[in-house]
Amino acid sequence: MNIVILGWPTVSNGDISPEIFRGLGSYECYDVLNEEGLCGVVKKADAILLNRVNITAKVMDSAPNLKYIGLLATGYNNVDVEAASKRGITVTNIPGYSTNAVATHTMGFIMALALSLVKYNDHVKNGGWSFAPGCDCFPFKMQELEGKTLGLFGFGNIAQRVAQMAQAFGMRVIYYSRTPKAYEGALQVDFDTLLKESDFLSLHAPLTNQTEKTFNKEAFSKMKPTSYFINTARGGIVDEPALAEALNENIIAGAAVDVTANEPLTESYPLFSAKNCIYTPHVAWGAYETRQRLINLAYDNLKGFCDGKPINVVSK
């Protein structure tokens, strides 16, 4: 089997090895490529593993022997699954591998926002720490988490892990989900209630036609001016110019963003220069243990396919 691994540097910086796939065939690793580049490297591929690249029908047609596409991720909106199904290509994803990592990152964002950690770090480094007469010792707002309301948009495994962590800090947890769910210690609410009552609102839903740009100008206008917005899910769930406006106009107090609709985030995007926003470069899932687990599960997916017992299939 010829295995082509795409976007490998977005999974490993040398600390994770792809050698596990040697037991299933030969493999070649490539960086993130555009469509033309992808068509050039997949010509002999029987199987493709990928992260951070888009697999279109054109790319599939460039690989006449292609029978398997394995995402090195949970989300699969970057693969034309319908085109794959029409061509008899099995597509798999990896659910659950990053639950602890993303939940921990979310809580890190919440604490950083609540305590103004980034602002205080910059304040100290810029010489602001002083005991001189008249010095403001608390120039940035700080608050305890106990008693604050955390709202979760989506309530799958990651959101439920965040709920557990938040409850340990004494936070009240509410959540919005399209399907009824019973969860001890957390209250399911409608969307408007989620917006109006959350002190911290965190996204944990997939990007779909139903969720795209759910968080728009109208949604932000219903949030508290003291509330904070957190996105470790998918950038496309948010109308990002509307988020930038909400931050710049003090409609909400701040935000923390790990994902954007167009990555990487550059100065040309309105969100780049929005005030009171913390950014990380889509690394919430990136703990070493998480990435090693990802590769092990990717191997299990591919081996299951080779054995005629495919698992985690997202194509029909």
Q: What is the pLDDT of residues 193-234, one digit of tens each?
A: 999 999 999 999 988 899 999 999 999 999 999 999 999 999
Contacts 24+ apart (CB under 8 A), 213-217: 213/237, 213/238, 213/239, 214/153, 214/238, 215/153, 215/239, 215/242, 215/243, 216/242, 217/242, 217/245, 217/246
CA gap 30, 145 in Å, rounded? 44
Residues 58 and 147 in one domain: no
In a domain, 155, yes or no: yes
Q: Which of 282, 289, 291, 293 is catalytic?
A: 282
Burial of 297 (0-12, 13-18, 19+ CB in 10 A): buried
Q: What is the pLDDT of residues 105-138, one digit of tens each?
A: 999 999 999 999 999 999 999 999 998 888 888 9
In a domain, 313, yes or no: no
Confidence (pTM) = 0.89
pLDDT at 75 over 90: no
pLDDT at 68 over 90: yes
Q: Which residue, among 236, 239, 271, has the nearest Cα to 256 in the 3D structure?
A: 271
Structural domain count, the chain: 2
263 catalytic? Reply is yes
Q: What is the pLDDT of residue 135?
A: 85
Q: How many CB atoms lie within 10 A of CB 316?
A: 9
Residue 25 structural domain? 2-97+287-306
Residues 172 and 60 in one domain: no
Q: Which of 172, 234, 240, 291 is catalytic?
A: 234
Residues 77 and 216 in one domain: no
Residues 114 and 81 in one domain: no
CATH number for 17: 3.40.50.720
- Which stretches does DSSP call E strand in 43-188? 47-50, 68-71, 90-92, 149-153, 172-176, 186-188
Average pLDDT over all residues of the chain? 96
